[in-house]
Amino acid sequence: MAAGLPRSDAWRSADVYSHEDGTYSLPGCPTETLFLYVDAPEHAIFASEVGPFTPGPHEFDIDLLPQRTLRLLVLDASDSPLPGVFVSAVDAQGKRIPLRDAAGHGDDDLALTDLAGRVDLRGLPAGPVAVLVGRPEDGSLAVANAPYRMPDEAQPERKEFRFDLRLAVDSVQRIVLPR
């Protein structure tokens, strides 16, 4: 777990590990709103702003959900694969979900389809998620070591697809984008 001030390098905690009972201590935290990042194997990453706080100790519960992987095949209207398309996911509140890389490490919140139009979204929480396929509305770009990235102006208009990952889903989800 680590904490820091949002959009600032003014304060950041050292990485800390939980005690045997699962609790954490972050001594010296400022009282303003903090960005809290909790990463545990086999669980979705928790990343959120918390606070502000009054001085002194505070307790709050963090429910880490089991992680899921959603495999997508992104196709155009003629069933041809779409390589280099931006893909991301948001939770039920519309907050972007940090994804994991193939090794299980916390990574970016934006992925790209491969040359065959496939992408694995790893580290999704076992709950309702919306997958966003196409041009990001906020103009953010994927920083990825991908063999191909579709130029920004060629990216399809963003479409949203909803999944409930508390339930079993097909091993590969076909996403067909309209013309």
Q: Verify that 140 and 88 share a domain, yes or no.
A: yes
Q: Verify that 80 and 31 share a domain, yes or no.
A: no
Which is higher by pLDDT, 106 or 20?
A: 20
Q: Verify that 135 and 157 share a domain, yes or no.
A: yes
Instruction: Write down the pLDDT at residue 176.
Output: 92
pLDDT grade for 2, boundaries at 50, 70 and 90: low
Q: Which of 37, 64, 91 is the last residue of a domain?
A: 64
Number of domains within the chain: 2
Q: Verify that 6 and 85 share a domain, yes or no.
A: no
Q: How many CB atoms lie within 10 A of CB 69?
A: 14
Q: Verify that 99 and 167 share a domain, yes or no.
A: yes
Instruction: Write down the pLDDT at residue 40.
Output: 85
Residue 144 is part of a domain; what is its CATH number?
2.60.40.10
pLDDT grade for 21, boundaries at 50, 70 and 90: confident
Amino acid in the structure at residue 130? A
Residues 118-157: pLDDT tens digits? 999 999 999 999 999 998 776 666 555 567 778 878 888 8
Name the residue among 109, 175, 169 with its Cα closest to residue 144.
109
Residues 27-48: pLDDT tens digits? 777 888 888 888 888 889 888 8
Q: Verify that 12 and 85 share a domain, yes or no.
A: no
Domain that holds residue 44: 1-64
Strand partners, 104: none
Q: Verify that 96 and 170 share a domain, yes or no.
A: yes
Check if the beta carbon of residue 40 is closer than 8 Å to that of residue 28.
no
pLDDT grade for 50, boundaries at 50, 70 and 90: confident
Strands (E), the chain: 2-4, 34-38, 46-50, 67-75, 86-91, 111-112, 118-125, 128-133, 159-164, 173-176
Q: Verify that 99 and 51 share a domain, yes or no.
A: no
Instruction: Write down the pLDDT at residue 90.
Output: 94
Residues 74-121: pLDDT tens digits? 999 999 999 999 999 999 999 999 998 887 777 688 888 999 999 999
Q: Verify that 116 and 128 share a domain, yes or no.
A: yes
**What is the dihedral sign for C-alpha 5, 68, 80, 77?**
negative
Query: Residue 160 and residue 162: Cα distance in Å, rounded?
Result: 7
Instruction: Write down the pLDDT at residue 139.
Output: 63
Q: Verify that 34 and 84 share a domain, yes or no.
A: no
Q: Which of 64, 79, 112 is the last residue of a domain?
A: 64
pLDDT grade for 16, boundaries at 50, 70 and 90: confident
Q: Which of 64, 98, 115 is the last residue of a domain?
A: 64
